[in-house]
Amino acid sequence: MKFFIDTANLAQIAEANDLGVLDGVTTNPSLMMKEGISGRDNVLKHYVDICNIVDGPVSAEVISVDFAGMVKEGEQLAALHHNIVVKVPMTKDGIKAIKYFSSKGIKTNCTLVFSAGQALLAAKAGATFLSPFIGRVDDSCWDGIELISQIRLIYDNYGFNTEILAASIRTPMHIVKCAEAGADIATCPLSSILGLLKHPLTDIGLEQFIADYKKVEG
């Protein structure tokens, strides 16, 4: 299973990268806004800054909603760095844009996915990555992990190569459940990745080992 970090915060991206377990980055316009990045030039520079930290796919989202706009923006984003993946929303124009990018060899991440039907369509269009938003599914009293299982089954039935990138992760347990359900990737806040480290018995055991070592050493 691959781990992506879901943030535009350079310090957090660097911290996750230093752990040695980071495979990529996802961003979205809200995450960019959270970091105070505004203006087209600053946004583009920020994507390059991220690419200079992590050697792996970096999702950069288009903000156009029409096919022509998505194509223009996506081509500009893809030209920034070889690791850029163009993030495209799950809409009719988005599907057409994914098909276009796929035919040009430009990698895509189909975002704002909430159903298996949408996942099927994105794979048919040739999306490189698919982002089901499991946290937001859970928030609306549906089952985000069940959605991952359903998409896994469908993709395996037909041998689709689109990678399932579980997004909108809220907790470390979401990551574990996504791994059980067969997601290819989880994109997570740093807190959820670090949360995987935690177990009280690890802390208690380590404290005991150090105390015993000190006794023997005198």
The catalytic site residues sit at 87
**Residue 102 corresponds to which amino acid?**
S
Q: How far is the CB of 148 from ligand E4P (least distance, A)?
A: 13
Q: Binders of ligand E4P among 113-132, rule CB under 6 A?
A: 131
Q: Can you tell me which of 8, 13, 88, 167 binds ligand E4P, judged by CB under 6 A?
A: 167
Per CB under 6 A, 162 contacts ligand E4P: no
Q: How far is the CB of 68 from ligand E4P (least distance, A)?
A: 24
- Rounded CA-CA distance 178/172 in Å is 10
Nearer to ligand E4P by Cβ, of 131 and 160: the residue is 131
Contact 89, 112 (CB under 8 A): yes
- Output the CA angle 50-72-114, nearest 5 degrees: 70
Q: How far is the CB of 168 from ligand E4P (least distance, A)?
A: 3
Nearer to ligand E4P by Cβ, of 12 and 26: the residue is 26
Nearer to ligand E4P by Cβ, of 186 and 204: the residue is 186
Contact 106, 128 (CB under 8 A): no
Q: How far is the CB of 17 from ligand E4P (least distance, A)?
A: 18
Per CB under 6 A, 2 contacts ligand E4P: no
CA 179 to chain CA centroid, nearest Å: 14
Q: Can you tell me which of 83, 128, 162, 168 binds ligand E4P, judged by CB under 6 A?
A: 168
Per CB under 6 A, 26 contacts ligand E4P: yes
DSSP per-residue letters across 19-68: HT---EEE--HHHHHHTT--SHHHHHHHHHHHHHH-SS-EEEE----SHH
Q: Can you tell me which of 7, 28, 83, 128 binds ligand E4P, judged by CB under 6 A?
A: 28
- Rounded CA-CA distance 32/35 in Å is 5
Q: Which residues contact 150 (CB under 8 A, 6 or more apart)?
A: 116, 119
- Which residues form the interface with ligand E4P (CB under 6 A)? 6, 26, 28, 111, 131, 133, 135-136, 167-168, 187
